[in-house]
Amino acid sequence: MRMGMEIAATGPDKERLEAIVSGRSSPQKHVWRARIILLTAQSLGTHAIMAATGKSKPCVWRWQERFMAEGVEGLLRDKTQPPSIAPLDATVIGMVVKLTLEPPTHEATHWTVRAMAKAVGIAASTVEDLARSRPCTASLAQLQAVQRQGLRRKAPRRCRALRLAARSCHRALG
């Protein structure tokens, strides 16, 4: 145990911690967190707690501090973490949809996934994900109108689907 840290788990806290440890349906992460606090309350040192629970020193310290700050409730919940990949900004999605409605800026007859990704500054897999996840779908009448206008080019299937979805979304929104 670190110098100056003293945990006294008495009364209802101790009963609740013991119930967590002995409960058959308690999640194991709650069980070892409660065991850390119960062993700390018995005045065992950090190394003894580490040996008994199989957890690292920073882990033991983290849960001791959390118990001192928030009590038993702090042991029963995990802190929220930001997502590992930030969601796309609406302007980036708007740029992709806008580009699908326009002819390509380079010498080509249609947008490819890679060309569109390079133009917008995102990964090609992200453009593919956008093509798959667009909530708007083209109706049969819209598809026929696009075919009549001669806008249906021999494009890769994903790009054509993205273009048609973008047109239907654009018409639905504007």
Q: pLDDT of 19-32, one tens digit each?
A: 999 999 999 999 99
Mean pLDDT over each residue of the chain, to the nearest integer: 79
pLDDT digits 0-9 by tens, 43-70 = 888 999 999 999 999 999 999 999 988 9
- pLDDT at residue 152 in the model: 47
- pLDDT value at residue 61: 92
Largest CA distance in the chain: 82
Q: Which of 10-19, 84-93, 99-108, 155-164 has the highest mean pLDDT?
A: 10-19
Q: What is the pLDDT of residues 113-156, one digit of tens each?
A: 898 899 999 998 888 888 777 655 444 455 455 555 554 444 44
Closest by alpha carbon to 130, among 88, 174, 171, 172? 88
Q: Is the pLDDT of residue 94 over 80?
A: yes
pTM score over 0.85: no
Report which of residues 160 and 30 the model is more confident about: 30
Residues 105, 115: Cα–Cα separation, whole Å: 9
162 confidence band (pLDDT: 50, 70, 90): low
Confidence of residue 78 (pLDDT cuts 50, 70, 90): confident
- Give the integer Cα–Cα distance in Å for 154 and 106: 17
Average pLDDT over residues 93-103: 82
Q: Kindly list the distances between the CA atom of residue 9 and the CA atoms of 1, 58, 71, 133, 145, in Å, as whole numbers in the listed order.
A: 15, 21, 9, 51, 73
Q: What local confidence, expressed as pLDDT, does residue 3 receive?
A: 58
Give the model's pLDDT for residue 15.
93
